Copies of this chain bind each other. A is one copy, B any other.
Amino acid sequence: MARNIFDNSTFFSEYMKLRSEKNYNDLLEQPEMAKLLPPLSGKAVLDAGCGYGANCRSFSECGAERVVGIDISKKMLEKARRENSLGNIEYLEKDMADISDLEGPFDLVYSSLAFHYVKDFEKLIQDIHGLLAPRGVLLFSQEHPVVTATKDYRGHFDDFGHYVFGDYQAEGKRYGTWFVKDVESYHRTAATILTTIAKNGFRITDVIEPVPSSMALRERPDLEKDFIRPTFLIVKAFKDTY
């Protein structure tokens, strides 16, 4: 079972403060994810790592017929049920380590910035394949492998406009500090992520390393540094077994 930092109360309050301002997710990752969404009218959607349900609510409002949001954090799900409940949304406390017992089929499996917490990526992709309808879409974002690579998360920008990283080819567990100590995640190379998807019955249609828009830069000029290195990796693929 993945370690659940989101129920740590220090983490939870700091995270909520972060999410209440315009941040990376809002300005860099979410706009690109939104562009890649397929039409949702009448569709069944699974949001894996749904957090407090903001996207589940949007999917429902965009016409999805059934929305399932899963998360391992009780606190996130409480907030989701309180603030983002609509009749056709179901929130479940569930680890992504095994989602094969969810009731499909889904037309879209969506996941924003959560897959880097999952240890067994191939099982995850196979489970998703099993849950998707034929031609169903997988759309996910995660931290970019160049960012997750460095052991102890010590990748950093230097004073000369460069990014410094290492340990790229050493896949596995990483520990970092994000409000609280010892946040666990898993580093995988871009090659592993993409080949695992391609080999498990998916056709990749989009690989995106988002760049800040001029609007985003006006709002947060420090996003300028996201031209130096790729920050997120977004992949869209559809189920298409041969």
Contact = CB atoms under 8 A, between A and B. Distances in A.
Interface stretch (A6-14, A112-120, A167-175): A167-175
Instruction: Give the number of times this chain occurs in the complex, counting copies.
Output: 2
A214 to B, nearest CB: 13
Interface stretch (A53-61, A92-100, A200-208): A200-208
A206 B189 CA distance: 13
A166 interface: yes
**Interface extent on A, as a size class?**
20 to 34
A168 B157 CA distance: 13
Contacts of A161: 166
A189 to B, nearest CB: 5
A199 B208 CA distance: 13
A81 interface: no
A226 B190 contact: no
A21 interface: no
A76 interface: no
A168 B203 contact: no
Contact of A227 (B163, B167, B208): B167
